[in-house]
Amino acid sequence: MKKLVIAAAISTLLSMPAVQAADYVIDTQGAHAFIQFKVSHLGYSWLHGRFNTFSGNFSYDDKNLAASKISLEIDTKSVDSNHAERDKHLRSADFLNVDKQPKASFVSTKMVPKDGANFDVVGNFTLNGVTKEITIAAAKTGEGKDPWGGYRAGFEGKTSINLSDYGIKNILGPASETVQLDLVVEGIRQ
Amino acid sequence: MQTEQQNNATKPKTLHYNNLSVSLHWLMALMVVALFALGFWMVDLTYYSSWYKTAPYWHKSIGILLFALLLLRLFWRFKTGKPEALASQNMKLQQVAAIVHMLLYLLLFSIVLTGYLISTADGRGIEVFSWFELPALGELFAEQADIAGALHKWFAYVLMALVAMHAAGAVKHHFVDKDATLKRMWWHKN
């Protein structure tokens, strides 16, 4: 019985794809990654902001997208819309509630190839303690050796979320219910 | 004996606050109560309230003027001194009153300072009645707007408790003890 289990384990291992996805750490150290948001102001214009502190890593394999994955953790306190009073309000219980919910996160569950460099990243996004599945429309922007002896790969992604889905009451007016998220992710291969 | 009399003659005993001190006292009392009420009310204004921008603008402008008056008042207080304590009041009561007065000054100073630190954390100055702009010192410590904001609120609550105590004391002296405590903080002819 024991031998059978071991044999089964070995055969499983052998049947796994020969090419392993490479692991990357997102280059937050060098600030070559950005988590930005934009939300309508009164329906007339846009407000842009970003999260300054986050970390994450991903695995990526050009030949086997299905084996790729990404996870991100965002420090909600680091919200920055270039206005101290507004950022204070954004951190309060009216919006991000950072005292109780200091972290937001995204963990991918599957990758869906599309045409060319485009693909969808499906995963669980947690904000204000609420986890929902979202789809990020992503594309690879490039990869290759960097001038300092390393290897880098870069991606862009776009998605949008509704505030009310995450238990955040929209007090900014109907046009501001949807927040667009723009991600720029550059990873250094480990 | 002779010299003591001369000393008393050069520094005449007074039981009254001088008219400028009285004016400053009542003007600032009015401003402090108005600022508290305005501040308490404005933090819950909705984004679409027509007061959403004007209420904080007034609050900040009046607050900065209050600070200027506070400086003038302290200067005047040290220049002209303080009237003698009423003979009817015992030492212990005088000490309690002195501590409350000191705390009132200290809190007023701290509340204006923390208010300044909230609004100027991003390097933006404070506009005072479209009259002049008080320059910012920028972010002096991490999480400045949030920390200063919490202190601003709690200092204001403590100040209001002390103001209530201060006013209750004055009313009690006037109506129950029927002494001159309140009268000497009123305008008078020399």
B11 — pLDDT class (breaks 50, 70, 90): low
Residue B3 has pLDDT above 50, yes or no: no
Cα B176 to Cα B97, B131, B172, B180, B186, distances in angstroms: 17, 46, 5, 11, 18
Are the Cβ atoms of B48 and A91 closer than 8 angstroms? Answer: no
In B, which residues are within 8 Å of A171 by CB distance?
46-47
What torsion, rounded to 10 degrees, do the Cα atoms A147, A151, A153, A154 define?
Answer: -30
pLDDT tens, residue by residue, A137-159:
999 999 999 999 999 999 999 99
In A, which residues are within 8 Å of B144 by CB distance?
84
Are the Cβ atoms of A84 and B47 closer than 8 angstroms? Answer: no
Question: Which of A83, A85, A173 lies nearest to residue B47, judging by beta carbons?
Answer: A173
pLDDT tens, residue by residue, A78-91:
999 999 999 999 99
A45's tokens: 């214009």
pLDDT recorded at residue B12: 55
Are the Cβ atoms of B143 and A84 closer than 8 angstroms? Answer: no
How far away is chain B from the Cα of A20, in angstroms, using its nearest Cα?
43
Are the Cβ atoms of B124 and A83 closer than 8 angstroms? Answer: yes
* Nearest residue in A to B136, CA atom: A84
Q: Determine the 3-state secondary structure of A174 from DSSP.
A: helix
Query: Which positions 25-84 of B are in contact with A (Cβ < 8 Å)?
Result: 46-48, 56
* Nearest residue in B to A90, CA atom: B146
Phi (first) and psi of residue B59, to 5 degrees: -60, -45
Query: Which positions 49-88 of A are in contact with B (Cβ < 8 Å)?
Result: 77, 82-85, 87-88
Q: Chain B within 8 Å of A172 (Cβ-Cβ)?
A: yes
End-to-end CA distance of chain B: 28
Cα A12 vs. chain centroid, distance in angstroms? 31
Are the Cβ atoms of B118 and A84 closer than 8 angstroms? Answer: yes
B5 — pLDDT class (breaks 50, 70, 90): very low
**Choice between B10 and A104, residue whose per-residue pLDDT is larger:** A104
pLDDT tens, residue by residue, B82-140:
888 887 778 898 899 899 999 999 999 999 999 999 999 999 999 999 899 999 999 99
DSSP readout, A111-155?
A: EEE-STTEEEEEEEEEETTEEEEEEEEEEEEEEEE-TTS-EEEEE
A9 — pLDDT class (breaks 50, 70, 90): low
* Nearest residue in A to B146, CA atom: A88
Which regions of chain A does DSSP assign to beta strands (E)?
22-26, 34-41, 45-51, 54-60, 69-75, 79-80, 103-113, 118-127, 130-145, 151-162, 178-189
What's the mean pLDDT in B134-149? Answer: 94
Residue B10 has pLDDT above 60, yes or no: no
What global pTM score does this model have?
0.83
> In angstroms, rounded to a whole number, what is the distance separating the alpha carbons of residues A57 and B23?
65
Residue A182 has pLDDT above 90, yes or no: yes
Tell which of B42, B46, B47, B143 to mutate to test the A interface (max A CBs under 10 Å). B47
What secondary structure, in 3-state letters, does chain B show? CHHHHHHHHHCCCCCCCCHHHHHHHHHHHHHHHHHHHHHHHHCCCCCCCCCCCHHHHHHHHHHHHHHHHHHHHHHHHHHHCCCCCCCCCCHHHHHHHHHHHHHHHHHHHHHHHHHHHHHCCCCCCEEECCCEEECCCCCCCCCHHHHHHHHHHHHHHHHHHHHHHHHHHHHHHHHCCCCCCCHHHCCCCC
8 Å CB contact between B66 and B32: yes
* Angle, alpha carbons B120-B121-B125 (nearest 5°): 20
A10's tokens: 């070995």
In A, which residues are within 8 Å of B46 by CB distance?
171
pLDDT recorded at residue A40: 96
Lowest mean pLDDT among A19-33, B17-31, B137-151: A19-33
Percent of chain B residues past pLDDT 70, beyond the cut: 93
What's the mean pLDDT in A26-37? Answer: 96
pLDDT tens, residue by residue, A32-80:
999 999 999 999 999 999 999 999 999 998 888 988 999 999 999 999 9
pLDDT recorded at residue B83: 84
How far away is chain A from the Cα of B154, in angstroms, using its nearest Cα?
16
In A, which residues are within 8 Å of B122 by CB distance?
82-84, 87
What torsion, rounded to 10 degrees, do the Cα atoms A66, A70, A71, A76 define?
Answer: -130
pLDDT tens, residue by residue, A117-140:
899 999 999 999 999 999 999 999
Are the Cβ atoms of B146 and A91 closer than 8 angstroms? Answer: yes
* Nearest residue in B to A98, CA atom: B146
A3 — pLDDT class (breaks 50, 70, 90): low
What's the mean pLDDT in A18-32? Answer: 86
pLDDT recorded at residue A139: 95
Tell which of A52, A83, A88 to mutate to test the B interface (max B CBs under 10 Å). A88
Are the Cβ atoms of B119 and A172 closer than 8 angstroms? Answer: no
What torsion, rounded to 10 degrees, do the Cα atoms A48, A53, A59, A63 define?
Answer: 20
> In angstroms, rounded to a whole number, what is the distance separating the alpha carbons of residues B173 and A19?
89
